Structure 1
Amino acid sequence: MSTEKTEALTVRLADFSETSKVVTFMTADFGKVTAIAKGAKRLKSAFEIALDLLTRCEIVFIRKSSGLHILTEARLVRRFQPHQKDMLSLYGGYYVAELLAGFTEEDDPHPQLYEAAIQTLDALTNQPDSRLTIIQFELVVLREIGQLPAFDACLACGEPVTENRTYALWVNQGGLICQRCQQESYHPQSTSVPAGTVMLLRRLSQTETDPARIAVSEQQFRQMRQVTTAAISHGLGRRPKMLRYLQF
């Protein structure tokens, strides 16, 4: 056994006993870490307020070769504060936690995903409209797990995406298929995506892109949402629970 220290984001909490909890963290150095926090439910716990959902904290844990690690310290760095009077911001934060817990594996570090999660939570706190921020985080998750759809060309014929054309998401193959290829070979698709929306998705999938600087119509929001929902649900093997609350 070894003792490890790292920065972490709390993404899941579960009762273990009358006094203890099992806590799942997304960490900067070790990926997902699940540990038992003994005595965490006591009124005067050594962990105090550090173990709430979406808290950012410094943790120390004893690494075990099998089973749950043992959390020994947790110091609060920052608590997630959703944007005032914006329930989408709150649910968006919970959605971030669900995706991190569902898509990542134990001891599989994704430092860029961890940083993207921190930046997303900060944006959810400060920005009055968080819809594009949530979509961008979905795209980051898909890229990090190797399931980001290819937005540059038709998967069937290889023709680059061009303006004034419409495509469909071929979710099982991880990319787009043009209308001509859909007609020539039977590939029924339910998600229709104009080229302009495809280009927006491609731009948002780049981490240096600031969502606040992109103008998007309500129709494009819906189209992008259909694409990311289909891709996320396919990668996760189910529809995320928090999606029912993210209606936009």
Structure 2
Amino acid sequence: MSMEKSEGLILRVTDFSETSRIVVLFTRDFGKLSALAKGGRRLKGPFESSLDLLARCRVVFIRKTTATLDLLTEAQLVTRFRPAERDLACLYAGYYVAELLLALTEDYDPAPILYDAAAAALQEFEASERVRLATLRFELVLLREIGQLPDFETCAGCGAPLTEGQAFGFWVSQGGLICPECQREEHQPGTVHAGTAAALRALSSENDQFWRRLQPTVQQFREMRQLVTTTVSHVMGRRPKMLKFLG
């Protein structure tokens, strides 16, 4: 057993006994982990009432060498996720981030870039009216970091560069767009125009500033939403439960 320190987002909290809780965290240094917080239901104690869903905390835990739960010994609150009153779009987007991290990350698989993206997304939800675009940004970074990001540069059929002025299909099982010459009926859950492909490249870029300058049209956003939803559902093996609340 070893004692570890990190910063983490709380993805799930479950009551375990009259005084304790089981907490699932996505930590910056260790990835996703599950830990028993003894005394976690008490108002006073080593957790200082910090064990709230989507709270960001500095945590200390004892990592077990067996298949049993880790032991969370301290949690110091950094910030809570606090959507504006009655801002359901922000609230549901936060829950969606938690659902994706729970479903698409592995235990003890460190992903600091993804952790930073999740923390930034929650802040963006609280501070911006562009919740839908910030949600897409997080989904694409997540897909990129787990190696499931579709190719928005070249055709998944022939490998040719995707040129401006065209409309492309999407081949979900091959993870990429399809040029007009390679398109078949089974490849097309929807049409993706060249401007949408360019927006997707900006949204999924490692440069965190590109996407902030985007002003997608209603049509472009609809095309992006359909493609990203199709991809996330394919990778998860099911449609995410929170999607129906995102609007």
Q: Identify the TM-score tier after normalising by the shorter chain.
A: over 0.9
Letter in 2 for 1:224: M
Q: CA deviation at 1:12?
A: 1.2
Alignment of 1:1-248 (within 5 A): 1-66=1-66, 67-183=68-184, 187-210=186-209, 211-247=211-247
Instruction: Tell me the C-alpha RMSD between the 2 structures.
Output: 1.5
Alpha-carbon deviation of 1:2?
0.7
CA shift for structure 1 position 85: 4.4
One-letter identity of the residue aligned with 2:82: Q
| Alpha-carbon displacement from aligned partner over 1:154-213 (angstroms, at most 9, x marks no partner) | 111122111221111111111111232124xx6442122111101100111013243332
The separation in 1 between residues aligned to 2:71 and 2:77, in whole angstroms, is 18
TM-score by length of 1: 0.94
| Separation in 1, partners of 2:70, 2:41 | 18
The SS at the match of 1:153 is coil
User: How many angstroms apart in 1 are the aligned matches of 2:86 and 2:44?
Assistant: 32
Structure-1 separation of matches of 2:62 and 2:204: 36
Following superposition, the deviation at residue 83 of structure 1 comes to 4.2
SS class of match (2:135)? helix
Residue 215 of structure 1: how far off its partner (Å): 0.9
Deviation, 1:121, is: 1.0
Conserved 8 A contact 1:86-1:128: no
Identity of aligned residues (%): 53
* Structure 1 Cα separation of the partners of residues 125 and 147 of structure 2: 25
SS in 2 for 1:176: strand
1:20 and 1:36 in contact (8 A); partners too = yes
Contact 2:43 2:49 in 1 (8 A): no
- Report the AA paired with residue 140 of structure 2: L
CA deviations on 1:35-79 (whole Å, 9 max, x unpaired) are 011121234343132100010111111110122100111111111
- 8 Å Cα contact 1:93/1:121 also seen in 2: yes
Deviates more, 1:138-147 or 1:213-222: 213-222
Please give the alpha-carbon distance, in whole angstroms, between the structure 1 residues aligned to 2:54 and 2:5.
Answer: 18
Q: C-alpha separation between the residues in 2 aligned to 1:83 and 1:199?
A: 32
Q: Structure 1: state its 5+ residue gaps.
A: none
Post-superposition shift, 1:139?
0.3
TM-superposed deviation, 1:84: 5.0
Describe the SS at the equivalent of 2:195: helix
